[in-house]
Structure 1
């Protein structure tokens, strides 16, 4: 427990440094996008490749990973029903609300939190695959049809996941593992050193970019989410935040419990469910111009609120 608190404190300090750099104007506005792209295209794929190349792949197909996948799908489906039928939002807005309620920040926070809580990033790989291969292209296809926005061709949409750097890193690392190839034996170990150096950048880049994005979000927001509490979108926002921070972990707890998971084995899917809303959801909402404020504020509020939920889960199950 103390290790987790210490680790979260370190994360908070690095995020705060990023936020302070943004607020002080030490870096240009939207510098977080540069760091995020560097992490997305280089550092995180390298980290996933090196990790999976030498990992026990049993963790990738473990009951805990399956429970995390089922819990995320159940969270998104139930949240869509709540936004659509209880709040009366149209199908497109309900879909954005559902993604804000269940699409976890598996890359930018899932990887460092997995390292902190369970000591391994391998279990996060199935969630990344679910999001990259199923949820993102599926959501785009639905929103293209509903909003009438011209989308990509069917072929380009279907092959988009294959061009994703994270998927390439996961697939390459898994292939090397299955083939029994040792990275240290390739090119005299130089390749392993290069990939290791790049991979070690991933977590600090993610934390700094998150802090910078929070600073930019505060600067761009004329009125914060709390200031809009009486507005018409407030019920949808609080529904998304509550679903993400309360319902999602409880669903993961229930799914994992029904699968016979206990203790540390159950902590992995519950911790994954505790992760905040991914910033991707705001990008998707902006692309289709639907529920953009809800998505943006859900990212901010769940990012601010996820640490106590993780600590509670760790105290109960660790």
Structure 2
């Protein structure tokens, strides 16, 4: 427990360093965008390749990862039923509410948190594949059918996951592992040295960019923020844009205005509670049924406790559905997941 608390303290200090760099004017506003892209396109893929290339794939396909995957699927499915049948939200709004309740930030926050808590980010690979190769296409299909917003570039839309550098890194790492490719011997060891060097900077850069993004958002009014994003082409990693008054950087959506209507506030409260309490609870229950205890159980519980992914906000923006709910769920679950992880580490 003390190790986890100490690790999270270091985690917080690195975020604070990024925040101070922007507030002090040592780096320009918007620097977080550069760091996020470095992580997304270079550092994090390198970390995934080296991690998976040398991992025990039998451990990756363990009961723990199965529990994590099933907990997320059950969390999203049950949240949809709650949003649709209990809160009586429209079908498209229920889909976004369900994703906000269970679709986790597996890359930007999942990797550093798992490294911190468990010392290994291998377990994030199945979650990434589930979300990007299964949940994302299903979401596009359902929302296209509901909103009737098919586009002439539908092929490009549906193949986004296959062009995602994180997915490609997972596939390369797994293929290298299965084929027995000796990464350390390739190019006289220089390839492994390159990948390890890039991989080592992934976690601190993610945390520093998060601090920079929070500082930059607080320094600018919403209109100025939107203008700057439009001037530089706007958009979060992956090419999706953000509407006026919303910052989506470093994997976190920072709201510029509150959710106004009572129905949306109620749906938001349920989504946040589902993400931070129900889904981790499902992971605990499923893990105990599967015979997991201690550290083995902590892995799926930690994964289930991760905050809502920024991708949910991108999907809501793409289809013009429940954007305030998605935006605020990302922010609130990002702020609230640390106590849940600390509690899980203390108990397990």
Whether 2:316 is the aligned partner of 1:285: answer yes
* CA gap 1:216/1:299 in 2 versus in 1, 3 angstroms: farther
The aligned runs of 1:38-53 (5 Å cut-off) are 38-53=38-53
1:115 Cα offset (Å): 0.9
1:177 equivalent in structure 2: 177
Matched position secondary structure for 2:71: helix
Aligned residue pair count: 317
Name which of structure 1's ranges 257-266 and 23-32 shifts more when overlaid on structure 2.
Answer: 23-32
1:237 and 2:271 matched: no
Once residues 214 and 145 of structure 1 are traced to their aligned partners in structure 2, the CA distance between those partners, rounded to angstroms, is 36
Matched, 1:91 2:91: yes
Q: Is the 8 A contact 1:214 1:300 kept in 2?
A: no
The corresponding residue for 2:62 is 62
Deviation at 1:214, TM superposition (A): 3.0
**Which structure carries more helix by proportion?**
1
Partner of 2:144: 144
CA distance in structure 2 between the aligned counterparts of 1:46 and 1:17, rounded to whole angstroms: 24
What is the SS of the residue equivalent to 1:183? coil
CA distance in 2, matches of 1:242, 1:30: 32
1:1-318 → structure 2 map (5 Å cutoff): 1-23=1-23, 27-151=27-151, 155-218=155-218, 219=220, 220=222, 228=259, 231-317=262-348
Q: Deviations over 1:4-58 (max 9, x none)?
A: 0011111111222333444556555544333222211111111000111111111
Alignment CA distance shift 1:245-1:74 (3 Å)? same
Pairwise CA distance, 1:127? 0.4
Q: 1:8 to 1:229 in 2, by over 3 A?
A: farther
User: SS in structure 2 opposite 1:277?
Assistant: coil
Q: Relative CO higher for 1 or 2, CA cutoff 8 Å, sep ≥ 6?
A: 1
1:107 partner SS? coil
Using the alignment, how far apart are the partners of 1:226 and 1:286 within structure 2? 15
Structure 2 length as normaliser, TM-score? 0.85
- 1-side partners of 2:29 and 2:148: how far apart? 32
TM-score by length of 1: 0.92
Question: Take 2:316 and 2:24, find their aligned partners in 1: how far apart are those partners?
Answer: 29
2:185 partner SS: helix
- Across the aligned residues of Structure 1 and Structure 2, the Cα RMSD in angstroms comes to 2.2
Give the Cα–Cα distance (whole angstroms) in 1 for the partners of residues 175 and 20 of structure 2: 41
